[in-house]
Amino acid sequence: MNKTFINAVLLTIAAVGQIVLAILFYNPAGDELVINLDWGVFMLSAIFGWLPIFTFRKKGKVEGRGYIHTTILVDSGIYGIVRHPQYLAGILICVALSLITPHWLVIALGGIAAVIYYLDTCEEEKGSLEKFGAAYEHYRERVPRMNFLAGIVRAILRWRSSTRSG
């Protein structure tokens, strides 16, 4: 069995397990502040999960049926904030489920899933470097892998710089 298959199986078990346990152990009488924070994290995960689909279809010169089969490097829109928005969305869902149901099993499975999501981004980086070469290396220098706060700050600074020079 190859590493990708093993990671996929482990991720599936951890993510589905976390969802099921979060439902089973959910306490609707929990801390209101934490529940509101949780909904904010869920909404953030939706943004990072769905925007890449539209961005790739619009800007990626997609070949074939799947939106991920881009022929050019997409480095704008959500991809100007983070390089791996959908993996970030997965991690944010793990965090949100751990917040809403802070049971040690939910947190442990979320931690496992989050680590696998992150490790998968490292594998994606290798493939993207092979596919796009120096352009991807330059992109890596400009846009963080998953730190969306740093990505937003960098995007604002790039925008300010471009408006001043233009």
Question: Which residues does 65 contact at the CB level (< 8 Å), separation at least 6?
Answer: none
pLDDT digits (tens, 9 = 90+) for 40-53: 999 999 999 999 99
All domains of the chain in start order, with CATH = 9-165 (1.20.120)
Could you give the 3-state DSSP secondary structure of residue 109?
A: helix
Taking each helix axis as running N to C, give the angle between helix 3-25 and helix 85-100, from 0 to 180 degrees, rounded to the nearest 10. Answer: 30
Confidence of residue 91 (pLDDT cuts 50, 70, 90): very high
Confidence of residue 71 (pLDDT cuts 50, 70, 90): confident
Q: How far apart are CA 100 and CA 129, in angstroms?
A: 37
pTM: 0.90
The average confidence (pLDDT) of the chain is 92
Q: How far apart are CA 22 and CA 9, in angstroms?
A: 20
The helix (run of H) or strand (run of E) holding residue 8 is helix 3-25
Query: In terms of C-beta density within 10 A (0-12 exposed, 13-18 middle, 19 or more buried), how is residue 82 classed?
Result: buried
Decide which of 62 and 89 is more confident: 89
**Residue 73: count of CB within 10 angstroms of its CB:** 17
pLDDT digits (tens, 9 = 90+) for 49-67: 999 999 998 998 888 778 8
* Alpha-carbon distances, residue 52 vs 67, 151, 156 (angstroms): 9, 15, 19
